[in-house]
Structure 1
Amino acid sequence: MFNLEWFNKLPVKILIVAFVIVITAYFIRKSVRIFFDKTSFLDENREETLMHFTDQVIKVLGLVFFFIYVFSHFFDLARLVTGSVVVAGALALIFQHIIRDYIMGLAYLFERQINLGDYVIINGNKQGKIEEISMRHLKIRQYDGYLYTVSYGSINELQNGNRGMRRVNESLILNYRQNPDEAFKVMEEVARICNEKYNEYLLTDLDGKPVEKFKFNQITELNVDYKGHRYSLSGIVKEAYFVDASKRVRYELALAAYMNNLLMAENGDIELNKRPGSQPSV
């Protein structure tokens, strides 16, 4: 005969609760996905952003409910929190920052300031593509390949490049032995060529004038990874042409570096044989 007392054992209760939480989370996510598939009042990118955020919320709530249930069998949580001034103060301090991050995250999300895949600049110094939107932070993939995580509460300034325009920002990292004067001439010539060949990619104002032409920004970073200096070129283009414009600008930079025998930054102690006194031929 089946023994019902077996279900009253704590390990079994914990497993049952965990199973119920997993099944409930699955059906909630499935229901949200079906809802978005059957409706069309949001664009696909926005739907993916909300779906991704919903997944994060469900995971966090599921873990919170599970741990509260487990700890409630070993501790009197209400007495533990209210009976210790130190613990209560520490929890209040922690939750202050957490709640702030949650509130600001919801504000960014529901005010439609960010979406998955958007190109953003955080606090003026970190830029890249949004790869993850969670309840407390953003993760952006920078051009150097690093994944940068920033909490919503630490965001003082957010620039979104997916609002009708994008800034192409490409660069060459040249060896520190490269003559800057020669490099400047080459980069300025590349900017001129890009403005001539890819003028239709540039975003224009109401008068038909480019908002920001391709321009050479001179040396934007010194001693990059102890290899060389960064020479950057940028321009504001229409959002639809961003990927193609970036590829073409990179091609022009690579071609100019080859044609002018510029000293590229390299790993290791590689012998560099640049002809002294050579002049740009672009």
Structure 2
Amino acid sequence: MFFSGLFQQFPVKVLTVALLIILIVYFIRKSIKLFFDKTSFLDEKREETLMHFSNQVTKVLGLALFFIYLLSHFFKLGKLITGSVVLASALALIFQHIIRDYIMGLTYLLERQIHHGDYVILNGNRQGKIEEISMRYLKIRQYDGYLYTVSYSNITELQNGNRGRRRVNESLVLNYRQNPDDAFKVMEEVARICNEKYGQYLLKDENGVPEESFQFKQITELNVDFRGHQYSLSALVKENDFVEASKKVRYELAMAAYKNDLMMAESFNTN
């Protein structure tokens, strides 16, 4: 009788339901993990991505069920369902961008455009390794160590480098007064040096021939931030060597600029 009366108390019932939901979520996650451990029809990265995403989904569903149970004690279930439909319609209008995030997130996942651990470039200016794939956003660890979070609806361009190849693309922004002919000679020399010193990083075909060597791409952009012109060098390298190859190319560019007294672009901001 004591335990029967105890379980009728509202705080105890709420705690019991919360623990039950936690256990259900735990067993669902363990079952999914066990399923992937026992099967091999998906690659490891795909399994890791689905596991990561399913953890996010079960957490959200568990919280939703708990709050529905909690509200059912204060409102009649019929009225609660009717009110929930009306409320959901209103919230759908208010939180359109959030709903769009969820839909786009599912699209990226189902179309296999991204996987946990992939190296990606977002919107042309953010790049790093995917650390978290949630239902609404991506988190990528940038090369400078910062963790960048972006909602799916704000992704206008996504480049995925985890397909066995990456493109190193490094540049110098030189002053308007720099003679382009002199800059061209220096950049072409840097490309030659990189091919000699760092050829092991290049992506090669089955015959051992580089698919794209280090090449000077000439002037790739004019009037960069009203400071000067951009001279670029690029190559296709192996995914695992991308970071190291980029560092080496940046070093060679900096050394060439120093040795040849190239006029680097300067900011006109005097504040």
Matching residue of 1:143? 143
Matching residue of 1:107? 107
Label 1:3 to 1:131 Cα distance change in 2 as closer, same or farther (>3 A): closer
Superposition pairs for residues 174-253 of structure 1, below 5 Å?
Answer: 189-203=189-203, 208=209, 210-211=211-212, 213-215=214-216, 233-250=233-250, 252=252
Q: Is contact 1:214-1:236 (8 Å) kept?
A: no
Give 2:212's aligned amino acid.
Answer: V
Q: By how many angstroms is 1:122 displaced?
A: 2.1
Q: By how many angstroms is 1:203 displaced?
A: 3.3
Label 1:209 to 1:3 Cα distance change in 2 as closer, same or farther (>3 A): closer
Give 1:69's aligned amino acid.
Answer: Y
Matching residue of 2:22? 22
1:81-116 per-position Cα deviation (integer Å, ceiling 9, x unaligned) = 45x6xx555312145444433232222212221111
Matching residue of 2:81? 78
Label 1:56 to 1:122 Cα distance change in 2 as closer, same or farther (>3 A): same
RMSD in angstroms over aligned alpha carbons? 3.8
SS at match of 2:2: coil
Label 1:173 to 1:118 Cα distance change in 2 as closer, same or farther (>3 A): farther
> What CA distance in whole angstroms lies between the structure 2 residues aligned with 1:217 and 1:70?
65
> What CA distance in whole angstroms lies between the structure 2 residues aligned with 1:30 and 1:222?
52
Label 1:3 to 1:33 Cα distance change in 2 as closer, same or farther (>3 A): closer
Q: Percent identity?
A: 66
Give the TM-score, by structure 1 length. 0.71
Q: Is contact 1:169-1:235 (8 Å) kept?
A: yes
Matching residue of 1:65? 65
1:7-60 per-position Cα deviation (integer Å, ceiling 9, x unaligned) = 111111111111111111111111222222222222222221111111111111
Gaps of 5+ in 1: 224-228, 265-282
> What CA distance in whole angstroms lies between the structure 1 residues aligned with 2:178 and 2:61?
55
> What CA distance in whole angstroms lies between the structure 1 residues aligned with 2:35 and 2:215?
44
> What CA distance in whole angstroms lies between the structure 1 residues aligned with 2:186 and 2:12?
72
Q: Is contact 2:139-2:150 (8 Å) kept?
A: yes
Give 1:211's aligned amino acid.
Answer: E
**More moved, 254-263 vs 24-33:** 254-263
Equivalenced residues, count: 257
Give 2:83's aligned amino acid.
Answer: L
Matching residue of 1:47? 47
Q: Is contact 1:81-1:88 (8 Å) kept?
A: yes
1:133-188 per-position Cα deviation (integer Å, ceiling 9, x unaligned) = 111221122333332222223333221111231122456899x9xx9679957665
Gaps of 5+ in 2: 265-271
Give 1:32's aligned amino acid.
Answer: I
Give the TM-score, by structure 2 length. 0.73
